[in-house]
Structure 1
Amino acid sequence: MKIPKAFWALALTVITWASAFPAIRVGLDGFGVAGLSLGRLMVASIALAVAAPFLGVRVPERRDLPMIVLCGLTGMSAYQILLNWGEVHVSAGIASLLIAVAPVFSVLLAAAFLGERITWLKTAGSLVAIAGVAVIVLAGGHAEYTASAWVVLAAAAVQGTYHFATKPLLARYTGLEVACYAMWAGTLFLLPVLPRMVHGFATAPADAVVSTVFLGIFPSAIGFVAWGYAVARLSLASSTAALYLVPPVALIVAYVWLGEVPPPLSLVGGVLGIAGVALINHRPRRAASTAPVDGDEAGRSDDQDGKGNSLTAGRSDRSKDPSRG
């Protein structure tokens, strides 16, 4: 049986986003937190700018610029700084487990500012995920680990803010377009640390330079393109379920690449965190049966152009942005 291209794109997304966490650990050597943050975003911004005309990325409307600025500041600039800072003392695999709970913050923000109802499943999922975070934070056994784990959790919080801020934009733009706008805005915010990035490219070890370029091209640029391709053709349930594989794959890649072996208690916390997020994303069958089927919609040729780009901007669920490295 021939595997659809969308599933290959989804697999590519999972692998690239999972590999970002160990790549950050390598890139920090020589670049530092600030230099690596800008270096990754700069490479990604250039790559997406070159590809944007071929991907059908439109110029955003002026009224959306404030929200795009918020997305760039939280989901790109602050996220990169906090995640890189946290990974100075937290292993790549554990960082991926902490970042996976970002949807908890999105749910809380949506309830507070958009008036969205918190169902019992979302409440239970949030509590389970928070319990998982607590286990992970307490599993390290030393102060530096604990402090860095809280920093990574702050990265998850700003990513949750990014997901919340993208909702009004996803009513008018595709997920790929929103990612491009946020990436470019986030790069501009980090330009004050440009000297550190330049110093890193000039003096860092070769493996750190390769990792930084890898982070910009694969997880940040190709990963978002592959994700946009996949979610335009697969159901939301299939796409979201695949993202639960990011932390396990990150643990495997970190073990093979860096030899990292996380504490068993941290893995227990990670399982709790992922289980909580699964509850948050769960849709009751009754609600699903009355809603349009994303997968069926995605297969209609009148919703896509000849290049497979979504022509419908108002489907926020299909363009939902996930947790990523």
Structure 2
Amino acid sequence: MTTTSPAPPASRYRFSALAAVAVTVLAWASAFVAIRYVGASYEPGALALGRLLTGSLALGVSLLSSRRWVRPTAREWALIALCGLAWFGIYNVALNAAEHRVDAGTTAILVNIGPILIALLAGVLLHEGFPRWLVIGALVAFGGAVLVGTATSDGSADLAGVLLCLVAAVTYAIGVLAQKPVLRRLPALQVTWLACTVAAVACLPFAPTLVHDVSAAPPVATVWLVYLGVVPTALAFSTWAYALARINAGRLGVSTYAVPPITIVLGAAFLGEVPPVLALVGGVICLAGVALSRRRYSAVRR
């Protein structure tokens, strides 16, 4: 008689998903610090291409090691391409370019519209609904992000920079919403590698600029560029996809409001950028909003 092993308890899946969220948040917070440093030596498009090429290579090696591949359907290919072009490609280029025109505070406010869009659109397009604590937590966390932005803004934003931030926020939301349905059947690592590779190919027109910047940049800047490709891209996008396959898109999007306060701590530690008290208060409010959004709820069925 054949026996089957008991399925792992649901608590184990919850713990692994939360651990994946923690890795993602920490890695993405460190990315803001690294981008601020590397951006002085690399143009926005070159920085995006270098990061994506490195990430695609690291993810490809991991995918070969896993030997797990599920053939995507035509619809899944389309969604993966949309995710790659929007979130991995346009988002990165737009954000890198925005930080040349917009101060950090304004960027924090505008880009953090993304999780709100995810929660709203996921409620409609992915039928996740609008749980009370998710809405409350998202609003509280966004309020904290506004405080962080207000405290760190120097009023140097221009219209082009503001529009680039909005492009980054919208493409972030589009990418997450396109990725979520694909993860119901395809492995997270495969989806992440495909999306990253699609974006890398789309960014190849920046290759001449990347070659020039690599030759002119100090070695330490290039080391940080490699870090951006391996950790915040290959590792963090994989752990994000793993968590997204197990957590509602709206709730997971709100969890990224934990990034700004962690970035503040890392910036103070590695860049010597001590934030004003109001920014620290805003960071605490962001974390409180994330905690509220994680409260258990009963889905409202219509």
TM-score (norm 1): 0.71
Aligned-residue CA RMSD (Å): 3.6
AA aligned opposite 1:39? G
State the Cα distance separating 1:30 from its structure 2 match: 1.8
Aligned to 1:102: 114
Aligned to 1:197: 210
AA aligned opposite 2:85? L
Aligned to 1:47: 58
Aligned to 2:92: 80
Contact conserved, 1:21 with 1:95, CA < 8 A, in 2?
no
What secondary structure is seen at the aligned counterpart in 2 of 1:172? Answer: coil
> How has the CA–CA distance of structure 1 residues 280 and 262 changed in structure 2, closer, same or farther, with 3 Å as cutoff?
same
User: What is the alpha-carbon distance in structure 1 between the residues aligned to residue 134 and residue 27 of structure 2?
Assistant: 28
State the Cα distance separating 1:10 from its structure 2 match: 6.8
Give deviations 1:254-299, integer Å, cap 9, x for gaps.
2222111223223333333443344344322x66xxxxxxxxxxxx
2:131 alignment partner, one of 119, 126, 133: 119
Aligned to 1:299: none
Aligned to 2:43: 32
AA aligned opposite 2:283? G
Return 116-125 or 214-223, whichever deviates more.
116-125
Contact conserved, 1:75 with 1:162, CA < 8 A, in 2?
yes
Does 2:292 match 1:279?
Answer: yes
Aligned to 2:32: 21
2:232 alignment partner, one of 214, 219, 222: 219
AA aligned opposite 1:75? W
Return 58-67 or 45-54, whichever deviates more.
58-67
Contact conserved, 2:145 with 2:257, CA < 8 A, in 1?
no
Aligned to 2:198: 185
Aligned to 2:4: none
Contact conserved, 1:179 with 1:224, CA < 8 A, in 2?
yes
Aligned to 1:175: 188
State the Cα distance separating 1:107 from its structure 2 match: 1.3
Contact conserved, 1:27 with 1:209, CA < 8 A, in 2?
yes
Return 130-139 or 216-225, whichever deviates more.
130-139
Contact conserved, 1:96 with 1:250, CA < 8 A, in 2?
no
User: What is the alpha-carbon distance in structure 1 between the residues aligned to residue 238 and residue 125 of structure 2?
Assistant: 30
Number of residue equivalences: 279
Aligned to 1:71: 83
Aligned to 1:265: 278
User: What is the alpha-carbon distance in structure 2 between the residues aligned to residue 12 and residue 123 of structure 1?
Assistant: 24
Report sequence identity in percent: 35
Unpaired segments ≥5 residues, structure 1 = 288-325
Does 2:74 match 1:62?
Answer: yes
The aligned runs of 1:300-319 (5 Å cut-off) are: none
What secondary structure is seen at the aligned counterpart in 2 of 1:143? Answer: coil
User: What is the alpha-carbon distance in structure 2 between the residues aligned to residue 223 and residue 32 of structure 1?
Assistant: 23
Aligned to 1:321: none
> How has the CA–CA distance of structure 1 residues 225 and 179 changed in structure 2, closer, same or farther, with 3 Å as cutoff?
closer
State the Cα distance separating 1:59 from its structure 2 match: 4.2
What secondary structure is seen at the aligned counterpart in 2 of 1:117? Answer: coil
AA aligned opposite 1:69? A
What secondary structure is seen at the aligned counterpart in 2 of 1:144? Answer: coil
Contact conserved, 1:97 with 1:247, CA < 8 A, in 2?
no
Unpaired segments ≥5 residues, structure 2 = 1-11
Contact conserved, 1:72 with 1:186, CA < 8 A, in 2?
yes
User: What is the alpha-carbon distance in structure 2 between the residues aligned to residue 114 and residue 219 of structure 1?
Assistant: 26
> How has the CA–CA distance of structure 1 residues 278 and 70 changed in structure 2, closer, same or farther, with 3 Å as cutoff?
farther
TM-score (norm 2): 0.76
